[in-house]
């Protein structure tokens, strides 16, 4: 199986270490989610967390918290060694389907305004910029993007 063949499935607590490592590779040690946040998310029945794996290795993670009609995408990252293979698009598509199935009416997320690959992907899925929040991150603003489901 090559890099381009991947499998999507629900995230379990066994995947947390891999998810933390991918987050660190993507966002740096300071901004990466800590282990306890991933673990809490996986245990939370109001969360939907998915991973992509290639040859049994977890290479991407995406997750959302769902509260009644509202869903927030909390994390989305693909191991940089596996970018540009369509994994992000397929994983994000499955996450949106899962959120819809769970009954949310709209979904939103925060992204750095300079993160063009991610913003392009979100626009492709029908997300639109709602508002810019100054100093949302420790070192910059966040763009809030939203779409109805
Ligand atoms: C955003 C991200 C999840 C996309 O994942 P991905 O698996 O590379 O996405 P895909 O392969 O499905 O490609 C999505 C788009 O990005 C482009 N792309 C992204 N990285 C690329 C790369 N290294 N090489 C080629 N194309 C790339 C693709 O061409 C595609 O655009 P298109 O639909 O116009 O062709 C990934 O870049 C990532 O993990 N970034 C770091 C973490 C991050 O910023 N997460 C979002 C936080 S809000």
**Quick one: which of 44, 61, 64 has its CA closest to 104?**
64
Reduce the secondary structure of the chain to three states and give it as a string.
CCCCCCEEEECCHHHHHHHHHHHHHHHHHHHCCCHHHHHHHHHCCCEEEEEEEECCEEEEEEEEEEECCEEEEEEEEECHHHCCCCHHHHHHHHHHHHHHHCCCCEEEEEECCCCHHHHHHHHHCCCEEEEEEEEEECCEEEEEEEEEC
More confident residue, 125 or 3: 125
- Going by CA atoms, what residue is nearest to atom 48 of ligand 1? 111
Distance, first Cα to last Cα, the chain = 35
Task: Ligand 1, residue 75: give the atom nearest the CA.
Answer: 47
pLDDT at 139: 84
Mean of pLDDT over the chain: 95
Closest ligand 1 atom to residue 83 Cα is 8
Share of the chain above pLDDT 70, in %: 98
User: What's the rounded mean pLDDT across residues 96-124?
Assistant: 97
Is the pLDDT reported for residue 4 higher than 90?
no
Q: What is the pTM (predicted TM-score) of this model? A: 0.95
Pocket of ligand 1 (CB under 6 A): 26, 76-78, 83-89, 111, 115, 117-118, 120-121
pLDDT tens digit sequence for 62-82: 999 999 999 999 999 999 999
How remote is the CA of residue 120 from the centroid of ligand 1, in Å?
Answer: 9
Token code pair at residue 134: 């100054």
118 alpha carbon – ligand 1 mean position (Å):
6
Tens of pLDDT, residue by residue over 33-71, are 999 999 999 999 999 999 999 999 999 999 999 999 999
**Sequence spans of domains, the chain:** 7-105
Residue 1 has pLDDT above 80, yes or no: no
Residue 146 above 80 pLDDT? yes
Nearest atom of ligand 1 to the alpha carbon of 111:
48
Specify the CATH number of the domain 7-105: 3.40.630.30
Rg of the chain's alpha carbons, rounded to an integer? 15
């Amino acid at each position: 199986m090559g890099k381009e063949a991947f499998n999507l499935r629900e995230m379990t607590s066994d995947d947390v270490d891999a998810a933390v490592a991918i987050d660190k590779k993507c966002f740096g040690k300071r901004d990466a989610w800590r282990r306890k946040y991933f673990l809490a998310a996986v245990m939370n029945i109001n969360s939907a967390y998915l991973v992509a794996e290639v040859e049994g290795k977890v290479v991407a993670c995406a997750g959302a918290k769902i509260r009644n009609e509202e869903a927030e995408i909390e994390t989305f990252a693909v191991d940089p060694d596996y970018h540009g293979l369509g994994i992000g698009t397929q994983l994000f598509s499955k996450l949106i389907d899962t959120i819809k199935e769970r009954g949310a009416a709209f979904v939103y997320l925060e992204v750095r305004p300079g993160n063009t690959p991610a913003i392009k992907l979100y626009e492709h899925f029908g997300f639109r910029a709602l508002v810019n929040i100054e100093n949302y991150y420790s070192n910059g603003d966040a763009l809030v993007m939203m779409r109805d489901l």
